[in-house]
Amino acid sequence: MMVEKPDSFKHAPLPSEPAAQQRIVDSADLFRGTNEIVIKHDGLVYRLKITRQGKLILNK
């Protein structure tokens, strides 16, 4: 059985809402001199780490 695909896929337009301002937090304010912090979200614990190369890694 073959299913035909449409030539173009159109997304439904998004409802017009005012754009919310993004909140920017400096990593230095979060880490306060440490390399790792623990974040609790929806009852789960995550670890946010700064690598030796200065990148961020989030682990569950």
In sequence order, the β-bridge partners of residue 40 are: 45
Binning pLDDT at 50, 70 and 90, where does residue 35 land?
Answer: very high
Q: Considering the entire predicted model, what is its pTM?
A: 0.63
**Res 1 pLDDT > 70:** no
What is the tens place of the pLDDT at every residue in 8-31?
656 666 667 677 789 999 999 999
Q: How far apart are CA 35 and CA 32, in angstroms?
A: 9
DSSP string, the chain: ---PPPSS--PPPPP--PPPPPP---HHHHHTT-SEEEEEETTEEEEEEE-TTS-EEEE-
Sign of CA dihedral 23, 27, 30, 52: positive
**How many residues make up the chain in this entry?**
60
